[in-house]
Structure 1
Amino acid sequence: MANTVSAKKAVRKIAARTEVNKARRSRVRTFIRKFEDAVKAGDDTQAKAAFKVVEPEIMRAVSKGVVHKNTAARKVSRLAQRLKAMHA
């Protein structure tokens, strides 16, 4: 357990930041799930709309430091592949 005042404050800050990051990560996962549901249903217009929403959401998570840039790029790329495969 933290002993100094600064260490106790650091623990509080880390806990608060963790909560925010959990919410952001959960939000990204929700949008990814909505996209995958649209792809699974075979609804082309809904999948396109979901992709247009999920891509900036993933990139926002990168800018906030929740997800690494390369991880986000990989996820977006794979989602785009799945969208493109629907058209073929």
Structure 2
Amino acid sequence: MANSPQSKKRARQAVARTDVNKARRSRIRTFIRKVEEAILTGDQAVALAALRAAQPEMMRGVSKGVIHKNTAARKMSRLAARVKAIS
């Protein structure tokens, strides 16, 4: 357990950051799920709109340190390829 005032504060900050990061990661997953659901419907226009909404959200997660840059790039690339394949 934390003993010094600084380590107690750090423990509180870690809990707060964990909550923020969980919320952000959940939001990113929701946007990705919307793209995947749009892909399954087969409507390219809707899927493209969902992908365009998801991309900045994923990059925001990268800039905030929630997900790795290459992970976001890989997910965006694969989703874009799936959206493009709809015809």
TM-score bin, normalised by smaller chain: over 0.9
For residue 40 of structure 1, report the CA deviation from its aligned partner: 0.5
For structure 2, the 5+ residue unaligned runs are: none
For residue 63 of structure 1, report the CA deviation from its aligned partner: 0.7
Partner of 1:58: 58
Whole-angstrom distance in 2 between the partners of 1:9 and 1:76: 37
What is the identity, as a one-letter code, of the residue corresponding to 2:46?
Answer: Q
For residue 3 of structure 1, report the CA deviation from its aligned partner: 1.1
Aligned residues: 87
RMSD: 0.8
What is the identity, as a one-letter code, of the residue corresponding to 1:15?
Answer: V
For residue 79 of structure 1, report the CA deviation from its aligned partner: 0.7
In the superposition, the TM-score normalised over structure 2's length comes to 0.96
> In the TM superposition, what are the counterparts of 1:1-88 in structure 2 within 5 Å?
1-87=1-87
Q: Alignment identity in percent?
A: 62
Runs of at least 4 residues off by over 2 Å: none
What is the identity, as a one-letter code, of the residue corresponding to 1:78?
Answer: R
For residue 4 of structure 1, report the CA deviation from its aligned partner: 1.1
Offset from partner CA, 1:13-71 (integer Å, 9 cap, x none): 00000100101000000000001000011111110100110111101110111111111
The answer as to whether partners of 2:43 and 2:86 remain within 8 angstroms in 1 is no
What is the identity, as a one-letter code, of the residue corresponding to 1:80?
Answer: A
